[in-house]
Amino acid sequence: MAEYRVKFFPMETMFSAAESDNLLDVAMRSGVHINASCGGNGTCGKCRIMLREGDVNSPSHRTITPEDYGNGVRLACMTAIHGDIAVEVPLESQVDRTALGRRREAPHILSPSDAGKLVAGMEIDPAVFKRYIKLPEPTMEDNISDLARLTRELRTQCGIHVPYVDFLVLKKLAKVLRAGKWKVTVTIATTGSSYTLINVEQGNREFENYSIVLDIGTTTICGQLLDLANCGVTSIMERLKSERDLCTLSEHSDYNKQISFGEDVISRIVFSGKKDGLCKLQEAVVDAINQVIDELVASAGIMADSISHVVFAGNTTMTHLLLGLDPTYIMRAPYIPTTTFFPPIRVTSLGVKLGDHVHAFTFPSVASYVGGDIIAGVLGSGMFQRSETTLFLDIGTNGEIVLGNKDWLTCASCSAGPAFEGGGIEFGMRAGKGAIEQVRINPSTYEPMILTVGKSKPVGICGSGLIDVVAELLETGLIDQKGTFDRNGKSGRVRAGANGHEYVLSYGPDTGTGRDIVITESDIDNLIRTKAAIYAGCKVLLDSLGVSVSEIDTVIIAGGFGHYIDLEKAITIGLFPELPLRKFIFVGNSVLLGVRLASFSSEFLKEVNEVTRKMTNVELSANPRFMEEFVASMFLPHTDERVFPKVMERLMGTRKNAE
Ligand code: FES
């Protein structure tokens, strides 16, 4: 892939770009401010630059006169780079020199196929496997039963002793053996230290052995279809580290249809108590699962009857609802789930449309608010194998936190609120088309530079945009550490609104809705509460074990949302502890990392229960220290300035410059 140089004037800083990279994207990731208020949609005309030299593809625009266009004026968001270029950032976009050229560090992002870099030593040895076997036909001398013949030959030919047999195998065994002329493929499931015969098919289907792994989220269901038979005997890690992940045949996500009955776990638990509520919720999630499976099978081009195994992981409430277990007592003190460990379940008994030999392994939970999704994350991220002290954070409506290493693990969950998913924020939204996801504010002019998902006209702000804008408002001094707006008329974009003072990110003519998009004091207050809950949860967990922030060696950020967070900004507002950026790792969907490893390795599957038993839950809702830490964290970044020394140094510098 060609690599080009992009030089920005007047700062004379140079950055690299790939063929067809968008110039506004390059500026954003390079820390060069260019005004942009339509999210890169090409409508506001604010992102004007002057092309000094080089090869780009950039159409003319109604806001650029033919004369200006002839002189090299272009819109950065409409400019694709095709060679080395030199670009002049116009005066209205320039920031003062102290803010120039600050570059974002490499984001430390690992994708699911990078799992091999996280977990060591597991071999491909699926818990559900197939064997093709040729049986001698019965004679008067050798007239033992069909089942005895099959198990005898499995023992003598394959060295596998199978003491247990699924009754459904018995019902079809006589016919299949004879129709297959005594050549059959058996499917065997590892159950603890023993084996169970779960299926028998005619002929050789040994190499058609697939599994489906599913992350059952409150909002989204993500699934992968894995090839268990053709991964050879290489280590999982070698396999997953290869250029193309040959083990994953397809991947698909869809909304959890339970959303129509409530957005979060509490509203779903309440709904489950209504007449037929539990039944409707179970049908909704199973319906969504069936759709995901249909897509996975169709895009992989395999026969659905060759799927032998399913692995589920979800939070405790989602797991209860999927299995049709009453979740009522999860939300009532003392917060008791029906069970934390789940037996293998025949998937057809749930309504999942797969063969009746297929059983599901469900990841166990630790407590009502620390579920199988977190266990999958801890396993998939390799945290359970690390010697160093690791903090694992999964941020959603609930902040789930695990602290530990290979010897000990402690966990906690705190209600973070829905701010990062758009809840309680006037223009909040999930990270869909038109969501403002990155924001920079010029510290001299206070003009914003915003980027939206899909470069569409902005329609709202998603979680990462919210973190960015609050951090930028703080750093430019437009808000103070309590989140209160400057009332001295520093910026024309700060004004009194219906919900207190607000900052206009994008004016109506530039937005997709025709309305001004603003961030209000009440939005900022909600964000402060959310980040305070997460930080306080981490602090209580650290204190309960006598571990200081500086003793944390690695911070693993899980969850799809985590990918898009700007680490520096998240530290600036006090969401994450102030640690060197190199200590942070984003693992994306850590639940998928865990479920896929459990499907590939029976060894790993055993670890799941071990790790769950090892984990100690610290209940925060009953912990007075949590409330103290929460109140102390209700400040940007924190009331104790000593725990965020670098952020404070920067903020003091900004204040001095402003004076
Ligand atoms: Fe480029 Fe609006 S026109 S950001």
pLDDT tens-digit series, residues 215-234:
999 888 999 999 998 765 44
- Give the long-range contacts of residues 202-205, CB within 8 A, separation 24 or more: 202/176, 204/132, 205/130, 205/132, 205/306
- pLDDT on residue 120: 64
| Whether residue 587 has pLDDT greater than 60 | yes
| Whether residue 339 has pLDDT greater than 90 | yes
Name the pLDDT band for 338 (thresholds 50, 70, 90): very high
Among 25, 43, 89, 93, which is best to mutate for testing ligand 1, by the most ligand atoms less than 8 A from CB? 43
Tens-place pLDDT, residues 39-95: 788 877 778 899 999 989 998 888 888 988 998 999 999 999 999 999 998 766 665
23 in ligand 1 pocket by Cβ < 6 Å?
no
Whole-angstrom Cα distance, residue 436 to residue 457?
9
- pLDDT on residue 97: 38
Cα(520) to ligand 1 centroid in Å equals 23
Cα(449) to ligand 1 centroid in Å equals 9
Name the pLDDT band for 107 (thresholds 50, 70, 90): very low
27 in ligand 1 pocket by Cβ < 6 Å?
no
61 Cα nearest atom in ligand 1: 3
Give the mean pLDDT of 97-125.
46
Give the mean pLDDT of 555-572.
84
Burial readout 299-319 (b: 16 or more C-beta within 10 A, e: otherwise): ebebebebbbbbbbbbbbbbb
Name the pLDDT band for 254 (thresholds 50, 70, 90): confident
To which H or E segment does residue 172 belong?
Answer: helix 167-179
pLDDT: which is higher, 261 or 271: 271
Among 28, 47, 451, which is best to mutate for testing ligand 1, by the most ligand atoms less than 8 A from CB? 47
pTM of the model: 0.80
74 in ligand 1 pocket by Cβ < 6 Å?
no
| Whether residue 194 has pLDDT greater than 60 | yes
35 Cα nearest atom in ligand 1: 4
Q: What is the dihedral of CA 310, 316, 318, 323, to 10 degrees?
A: 60
Q: Judging by beta carbons within 10 Å of its beta carbon (0-12, 13-18, 19+), is residue 480 exposed, middle or buried?
A: middle
449 in ligand 1 pocket by Cβ < 6 Å?
no
Cα(572) to ligand 1 centroid in Å equals 27
Does residue 40 contact residue 23 with C-beta atoms inside 8 Å? Answer: no
- pLDDT on residue 396: 74
Work out the percent of the chain whose per-residue pLDDT is above 70: 91
Residues β-bridged to residue 450? 439
Cα(57) to ligand 1 centroid in Å equals 15
Using CA atoms, how far residue 450 sits from 96, 262, 321, 475, in Å, is 19, 31, 40, 16
Whole-angstrom Cα distance, residue 634 to residue 24?
34
| Whether residue 206 has pLDDT greater than 90 | yes
556 in ligand 1 pocket by Cβ < 6 Å?
no
Give the mean pLDDT of 642-657.
85
| Whether residue 100 has pLDDT greater than 50 | no
43 Cα nearest atom in ligand 1: 3
User: Which residue in the block uniquely carries the two structure tokens 């949590």?
Assistant: 626
The residues, any chain, with a CB within 8 Å of residue 45's CB and separated by 6 or more, are: 61, 62, 63, 64, 75
Positive or negative, the Cα torsion across 475, 477, 478, 484?
Answer: positive
75 in ligand 1 pocket by Cβ < 6 Å?
yes
Give the mean pLDDT of 21-46.
81
Task: Of 427-431, 508-512, 592-596, give the lowest mean pLDDT range.
Answer: 427-431
Among 26, 75, 450, which is best to mutate for testing ligand 1, by the most ligand atoms less than 8 A from CB? 75
Give the mean pLDDT of 568-597.
91
- pLDDT on residue 111: 41
What Rg do the C-alpha atoms of the chain give, in angstroms? 28
| Whether residue 397 has pLDDT greater than 90 | no
> Tokens for 333?
């003190």
Tens-place pLDDT, residues 511-542: 988 889 999 999 999 999 999 999 999 999 99
Average pLDDT of the chain? 88
| Whether residue 105 has pLDDT greater than 50 | no
| Whether residue 549 has pLDDT greater than 50 | yes
Q: Tell me the DSSP string of 291-360.
A: HHHHHHHHHHT--GGGEEEEEEEE-HHHHHHHHT---GGGSSTTT--S-SS---EEGGGGT--S-TT-EE
